[in-house]
């Protein structure tokens, strides 16, 4: 990659606000592309970009989201906190639509910008920001939601626009 990566979280958040319509238009643009080819490009860009970004020097996802956790992970996390599973669930789990989410946000295991249980973090945390998965075009709305939070997502999304020669056409709004 020849272009310098954007790592400033304030700028990334601001660009997320400014480029919201552009990103939604890009999502529509992607729907007309071969999804397997888009996955191949995204995976390559993700490998290139994520290798240059240290998630432990950012930690923004841990400040903004509570991950889904499994019952097995709850047991391990309760052991880390040295409390019973029952008490851990009362204090640190929120259930929504049958999924169990770790609370509070920011994450209790965040130490500055680094995860204090990095090697034993939940699978959802290990998988974030999900750019290695198949089906990028069908998941692009979720990717856009992470655009203003995660430097990897931001930089991959912007590199993808450039690689696909996407041109945003600003729409005039008349109120």
pLDDT in tens, 28-39: 999 999 999 999
Handedness of CA 102, 104, 107, 109 (dihedral sign): negative
CB neighbour list of residue 131: distance below 8 Å, 6 or more residues apart: 42, 43, 45, 46, 50, 143, 152, 153, 156
**Tell me: the pLDDT tens digits for 78-117?**
999 999 999 999 999 999 999 999 999 999 999 999 999 9
Q: What was the pLDDT predicted at 9?
A: 96
Residue 22, both tokens: 């552009």
Query: Structure pTM?
Result: 0.90
Structural domain boundaries in the chain? 9-58+129-163, 66-113
Please report how the helices 151-163 and 9-18 are oriented relative to each other, as an axis angle in degrees rounded to 10: 50
Residue 100, both tokens: 């169990």
Looking at the DSSP bridge assignments, the partners of residue 111 are 114
Average pLDDT over residues 131-159: 96
């Amino acid at each position: 990659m020849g272009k310098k990566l954007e790592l400033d979280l304030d700028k990334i958040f601001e660009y997320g606000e400014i480029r919201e319509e552009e990103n939604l238009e890009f999502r529509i643009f992607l729907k007309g592309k071969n999804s397997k080819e888009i996955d191949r490009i995204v995976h390559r860009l993700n490998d290139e970009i994520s290798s240059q970004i240290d998630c432990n020097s950012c930690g923004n996802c841990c400040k903004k989201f509570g991950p889904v956790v499994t019952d097995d992970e709850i047991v391990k996390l309760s052991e880390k906190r040295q409390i019973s599973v029952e008490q851990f669930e009362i204090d640190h789990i929120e259930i929504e639509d049958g999924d169990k989410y770790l609370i509070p946000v920011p994450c209790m295991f965040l130490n500055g910008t680094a995860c204090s249980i990095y090697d034993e973090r939940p699978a959802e945390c290990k998988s974030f920001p999900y750019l290695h998965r198949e089906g990028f075009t069908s998941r692009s709305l979720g990717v856009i939601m992470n655009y203003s939070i995660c430097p990897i997502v931001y930089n991959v999304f912007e590199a993808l626009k450039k690689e696909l020669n996407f041109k945003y056409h600003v729409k005039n709004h008349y109120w």
